[in-house]
Amino acid sequence: MGAGKLYVVGTPIGNLEDMTWRAVRVLQEVEAIASEDTRHTGKLLQHFQITTPQISYYEHNKSQRLGELLQRLQQGADLALVTDAGMPGISDPGYELVKGCIDGGIEVIPIPGVTAGITALVCSGLPTERFVFEGFLPTKGKERRDRLLQLPSETRTLIFYEAPHRLQQTLQDLAEVLGVDRPVVLARELTKRYEEFWRGTLGDAIAHYTHQSPKGEFTLILGGARESTRLELSEGELKQALEALLAQGLTRSQASRQLAQDTGRPRRAIYQLALEICSNV
């Protein structure tokens, strides 16, 4: 008996009518379904009268469960992978299982479905020809700050996911590094009864959600930087900008990276200038 197949199955992000006939058939035919949340997926399976057993596979048990799933596939079982909503592998542990299958010579078959990021993007009114998916920002600390500092010179449209209780802080942080005038579209409760698209600037969004409590899961579509926004700074102005960033608590490396992105100058040259500034302090 040869190895089985892994089906990566897209499921609705809200409206159950977005489930495809092919997805229903595959979930009925496989030996088991690896689910991010078996209770959540159980409601979906019940709605479509699918009785296939589930296997819990999520962020905190993926290292223990991965070997078991790969073994079953190697022994000939066909399995399906689903997430709570949308396509598996986007902001969930699906990537590790897919990579494990590819490394082990197991066939991986996509069953396409809805993805919140693309759904929001195409209705945002912001440029769609070039975009980058950022998903969830790191929640705090150096990792979050480093990620934010990579954004100012990004000219492609940006896609983020955010939970309602962190939305206001994320808007504030984005405005701090990108400016309050950057255009943004906030999509919430996509495909559901209270679906809403809010359009404006980061500054407007901060004001709006100061007076209105965020509800539902959010997808943020953020306009990219204009090609012409790179700063033209003399060496003296560059030193002043470096001193200001260092005074804010950024390291030499972080400050150099940000100014390299903002000006288009080589990061190594700016870093050398930062070393000179620090040696003269």
- pLDDT for 192-248, tens place per residue? 999 999 999 999 999 999 999 999 999 999 999 876 556 677 788 888 888 888 888
Q: What is the average per-residue pLDDT within 56-65?
A: 87
Q: What is the 3-state secondary structure (H, E, C) of the chain?
A: CCCCEEEEECECCCCHHHCCHHHHHHHHHCCEEEECCHHHHHHHHHHCCCCCCEEECCCCCHHHHHHHHHHHHHCCCCEEEECCCECCCCCCCHHHHHHHHHHCCCEEEEECCCCHHHHHHHCCCCCCCCEEEEECCCCCHHHHHHHHHCCCCCCCEEEEEECHHHHHHHHHHHHHHHCCCCEEEEEECCCCCCCEEEEEEHHHHHHHHHHCCCCCCEEEEECCCCHHHCCCCCHHHHHHHHHHHHHCCCCHHHHHHHHHHHHCCCHHHHHHHHHHHHHCC
Residue 163: pLDDT band by 50, 70, 90 thresholds?
Answer: very high
Q: What percent of the chain has pLDDT over 90?
A: 68
Mean pLDDT of the chain: 91
- The neighbour count for residue 220, using CB atoms within 10 Å, is 25
Nearest to 51 by CA among 27, 18, 83, 85: 27
- pLDDT for 280 equals 67
Residue 281 has a pLDDT of 54
> Could you report the per-residue pLDDT of 85-114, keeping only the tens digit for each?
999 998 777 899 999 999 999 999 999 999
pTM value surpassing 0.95: no
255 pLDDT more than 90: no
Rounded to a whole number, what is the distance in angstroms from the first to the last CA of the chain?
A: 72
